[in-house]
Structure 1
Amino acid sequence: MKKALKLSAVALSMTAAFSANAATTIFKNVDIFNGTEEKLYEDHHVMVVDNKIAQISSKEIKAEGDAVVIDGEGKTLMPGLIDGHAHVMINYNFGDIEHNKDITDISINSITVAERFLDDGFTTVRDMGGPAFGLMREIEAGNVKGPRIYPSGGFISQTSGHGDFRDRADAGFSTAQQGDISNFERMGIGNVADGVPEVLRATRLNLRNGASQIKIMAGGGGSSRFDPIDTTQYSVEETCAIVEAAKDWNTYVAAHTFNDRSVNRLLDCGVKTFEHGFFINDDTMKRISKEGGYVVPQMWGLSPDLAKNPLMPKEKLPMVAVLQEKYGDYGQRLLENDVKVVFASDYVGANSDAERARRYEIWWRTQAFGSNFEVLKQMTSTAGEMLAMSGPRGTAKGKLGVIEKDAIADILLVDGNPLEDMSIIGATDKWFDADPEYKKIDTIKLVMKDGKIYRNEM
């Protein structure tokens, strides 16, 4: 049951708030989920000035000048959602990208990806591998509708690593051969680099292009064919060099990783976020927590529904059942070990597949973590904390993921209470059997990003 609580009025000079050129929006009569507390503040009022939340009050805020007033009676006002691990540029199936597409194809398709993210209430996305810099700039310029993007640039991988997507028939049987790169590298999705000089060059290139954080491949994976999932990738010297180069730019390194050996090496060098991490033990989890790291897992990777993926090779189907049986308590163990967890959709491929996976992921996480509130934090305040580690390299110049004074005005108005019902922000137990046609989530009534309203069905 929703708890009715009263939030004390925030002191604010009304004269200052309504300066001559202030763009002001007032939300009246809303119930607030602030991103950090497991409760709603009933019958409150929120004022946005320019791109920041200027006032939150239990008392009516009087509109002055050209203020826009939105009566949200019966609606919940909450932070915009954050996807901590997405791939807006890997927007066709791997086979198509490897053989049939070029940068124009994925760039044009990324516009649709961006629009649908924002319509689904995601006001910020951390892109974890791909040439998203141009899309980020066009969104910031107002030429494309989409979420705020925190780009990593091309993920950095060793030869034989999770980012080495060459086919068997491609050049590469001798290191002396030239031009032995995959389509992923040609388009800037990834960068294969070996040795300290090469990894430094790849890191600095991404930072030059505008990366807000650096993404490296530190272990094997399921979507790549030639790097077993149990492997540890990049040496201590290479890993530490990448981390120091990122620190020089006042940002951090994220790593694709699964096992204890890899994660502990990454921690030794100062890596801050651990993407996936399904196979780590409790001691490693405790160390991540103690050292201020974050785990960013796509929990659908441990779902039995993964076996329904039509692209899943038949020989890998038994692996899905084994993973679910052996690591099905992964979410609960993360919480028991006080690890900060961030939401991740991490689905690559055609638009409809990625959207269905994202909505399924919200629902599946409520099962894996046993709490709507925990999942909501992962999509709002905890994700905002993680993004803040980008410091001056971050796209947002202010606090994300919360409804509080002076935070960035990323705001949703939704029908219902997400603490009780996550379907109002798109959660569904259907994945590959869901309708492939994109439909807006009709319970999301308004989407504001950076103080501007992009969707309004009030």
Structure 2
Amino acid sequence: MKYVIKGETLFDGNNILNANSVLIEDGIIKEVGNNIKSDDVREYKGAFIMPGMIDSHIHLTGAKSGNLIMESLIEDPNIKLLATIPWLNKILKAGFTTVRDCGGTNAIYLRNAIKNGYLTGPDIIAAGKPLSQTFGHGEFSHTIPIKWNEDRGMSEICDGTEGCIKGARTVLRQGADFIKIFSTGGVLSQSDRPDQEQFTVEEIRAIVNEARKSGTYVAAHAHGDQGVKNAVISGVKSIEHATMASDETLKLMAEKNVSLTPTLSIQELLFKYGREIGVNSWGLEKITNVIDGIKQVLPKAKNLGINILCGTDLGFETGKDIDIGKNWNELILMTKYGNMNAIEALRSATGNVNNIGIHRGRLSIGYKADVLIINGEPSENISDIAKIDHVYLGGNEVF
């Protein structure tokens, strides 16, 4: 199958090009230029053409509320897996053709089903079970038995370097594409705090080494400064959140080319609607410091040249203005809180993912033909990112 997509403005995942056409053959981009000739030219007059977007931090849980503990314990995991299937269409329709699931067993099954053609959905890069220490963020409840946390897929509990090596090998054996760890406490876990460091440097280095041997990398949930620093010096590839990172630690991230996923959507959601959507009391108590922190950190990170990724951290449906299927809100929040212009926000959801080894988000020769047709100018008005008319996934028009 060979055809040309032609529009008005073309954003290649990095810059606006002096071009208006993309030649696609067998699902791969073969040429980018002006007025490319073909027997099949699909012209979208006045349209903004850009790569499919990537949500670099999502959780395909199938959950329906912010009370993740209760849902995990009382809902059948198989039903929750099935409940996630409609999310795939919503995410695609929102213009996200790839997602990086940062913790949960559903993503591995969904990824495999999509690859085998049983389902239509975005490409899924899956972490599987995240790694957590005992009394860590991976135990959302610190009062229920640890085994329940593990059995329900919340995390793989490991302690000490030997335990962490085994934990890393376990999740890789289960099909993880990369490894997700918790190097600090968090908001939705019961008894720890976001500023508290978790895992030692030696433990994190052991996990990073296991990932390296398997040709992959580690992403670290980290709010508090020391936990961020521990993860960075241990060799992780991306930091998720970094809401309390110091100037010194941010400079270290820049030096070591560690990416940042600020996850503004989940923080804004919990701050605005947490009580209404059933978030536990401990989450409500902790969210204010976290959201205030990221508003200070993100502009500094941008100014230091840190590679910033678009990741929503959404893991349940809400029916609110921030929700699965409205993942593009993350870009709007980046311009609102991060001192980022529209082009910088667009890069975070497209070309920037190449920094962590995801070969997506570019309208360039050799890239998979994931293409969006937008009835607007999101490079000038980022809110236009919601005006998606057509979505091509691997060269096939899915919306």
TM over 0.5: yes
State the Cα deviation string for residues 351-401 of structure 1 (Å, max 9, x = none).
64532763433321111123111110100000233243xxxxxxxxxx311
Matched, 1:56 2:32: yes
Distance 1:316 1:418, change over 3 A: same
Matched, 1:154 2:129: yes
> Equivalent residue for 1:425?
385
Equivalents in 1 of 2:28, 2:48: separation in Å?
19
> Equivalent residue for 1:176?
none
Matched, 1:279 2:273: no
Q: Per the alignment, in what secondary structure is the counterpart of residue 413 of structure 1?
A: strand
Contact 2:188 2:283 in 1 (8 A): no
Matched, 1:36 2:14: yes
> Equivalent residue for 1:19?
none
Equivalents in 1 of 2:208, 2:327: separation in Å?
30
Equivalents in 2 of 1:372, 1:27: separation in Å?
23
> Equivalent residue for 2:363?
403
Q: Mark the runs of 5 or more structure 1 residues left unpaired by the alignment.
A: 1-22, 172-179, 389-398, 427-442
> Equivalent residue for 2:45?
73
Question: Pairwise CA RMSD of aligned residues?
Answer: 2.2
Matched, 1:108 2:85: no
Contact 2:259 2:355 in 1 (8 A): no
Q: What is the CA distance between 1:445 and its match in structure 2?
A: 1.5
Equivalents in 1 of 2:114, 2:77: separation in Å?
18
Equivalents in 2 of 1:276, 1:254: separation in Å?
11
Q: Tell me the percent identity.
A: 27
State the Cα deviation string for residues 312-358 of structure 1 (Å, max 9, x = none).
55676675555555553222111122111101100222364532763
Q: Per the alignment, in what secondary structure is the counterpart of residue 57 of structure 2?
A: strand
Matched, 1:164 2:134: no
Contact 1:25 1:69 in 2 (8 A): yes
Contact 1:28 1:71 in 2 (8 A): yes
Q: Per the alignment, in what secondary structure is the counterpart of residue 333 of structure 1?
A: helix
Q: Which AA in structure 2 matches 1:345?
A: T
Contact 1:91 1:349 in 2 (8 A): yes
Distance 1:229 1:452, change over 3 A: same
Matched, 1:181 2:163: no
Q: Per the alignment, in what secondary structure is the counterpart of residue 26 of structure 1?
A: strand
Match runs of 1:100-139 below 5 Å: 100-131=74-105, 132-139=107-114
Q: Which AA in structure 2 matches 1:156?
A: L
> Equivalent residue for 1:246?
211
Q: What is the CA distance between 1:195 and its match in structure 2?
A: 2.1
Equivalents in 1 of 2:394, 2:308: separation in Å?
24
Q: Which AA in structure 2 matches 1:365?
A: M
Tell which deviates more after alignment, 400-409 or 245-254. Answer: 400-409
Distance 1:374 1:28, change over 3 A: closer
Equivalents in 1 of 2:267, 2:165: separation in Å?
34
Contact 2:135 2:142 in 1 (8 A): no
Q: What is the CA distance between 1:166 and its match in structure 2?
A: 4.0
Contact 1:282 1:337 in 2 (8 A): no
Matched, 1:454 2:398: yes
Larger radius of gyration: 1
Q: Mark the runs of 5 or more structure 2 residues left unpaired by the alignment.
A: none
Distance 1:234 1:376, change over 3 A: same
> Equivalent residue for 2:353?
383
Contact 2:266 2:314 in 1 (8 A): no
Match runs of 1:208-227 below 5 Å: 208-227=173-192
Tell which deviates more after alignment, 400-409 or 159-168. Answer: 159-168
Q: Per the alignment, in what secondary structure is the counterpart of residue 181 of structure 1?
A: helix
Equivalents in 1 of 2:222, 2:208: separation in Å?
15
Q: Per the alignment, in what secondary structure is the counterpart of residue 355 of structure 1?
A: coil
Contact 1:214 1:254 in 2 (8 A): yes
Structure 1 stretches of at least 4 aligned residues deviating more than 6 Å after TM superposition = none
State the Cα deviation string for residues 142-200 of structure 1 (Å, max 9, x = none).
221210000001001011000013452x34xxxxxxxx412x42132321122223222
Q: What is the CA distance between 1:49 and its match in structure 2?
A: 0.8
Equivalents in 1 of 2:2, 2:231: separation in Å?
45
Q: How many pairs align?
A: 391
Q: Which AA in structure 1 matches 2:12?
A: N
Equivalents in 1 of 2:121, 2:37: separation in Å?
30
Distance 1:88 1:46, change over 3 A: same
Q: What is the CA distance between 1:409 and its match in structure 2?
A: 0.9
Equivalents in 1 of 2:342, 2:45: separation in Å?
23
> Equivalent residue for 1:26?
4
Q: What is the CA distance between 1:449 and its match in structure 2?
A: 1.4
Q: Per the alignment, in what secondary structure is the counterpart of residue 358 of structure 1?
A: coil
Equivalents in 2 of 1:412, 1:339: separation in Å?
26
Contact 1:343 1:379 in 2 (8 A): yes
Q: Which AA in structure 2 matches 1:375?
A: A
Q: What is the CA distance between 1:277 and its match in structure 2?
A: 0.5
Distance 1:119 1:193, change over 3 A: same
Matched, 1:288 2:288: no
State the Cα deviation string for residues 212-248 of structure 1 (Å, max 9, x = none).
1100111000101021222111122221111110000
Q: What is the CA distance between 1:264 and its match in structure 2?
A: 2.0
Distance 1:161 1:134, change over 3 A: same
Contact 1:446 1:453 in 2 (8 A): yes
State the Cα deviation string for residues 24-69 of structure 1 (Å, max 9, x = none).
12113442111111x3535x22110112100112133132xxxx43
Q: Which AA in structure 1 matches 2:34?
A: S
Q: What is the CA distance between 1:211 and its match in structure 2?
A: 1.5
Q: What is the CA distance between 1:91 and its match in structure 2?
A: 2.7
Equivalents in 1 of 2:154, 2:88: separation in Å?
17
Q: Which AA in structure 1 matches 2:393?
A: K
Equivalents in 2 of 1:357, 1:73: separation in Å?
25
Distance 1:230 1:57, change over 3 A: closer
> Equivalent residue for 2:56?
84
Distance 1:327 1:80, change over 3 A: closer
Q: What is the CA distance between 1:210 and its match in structure 2?
A: 2.3
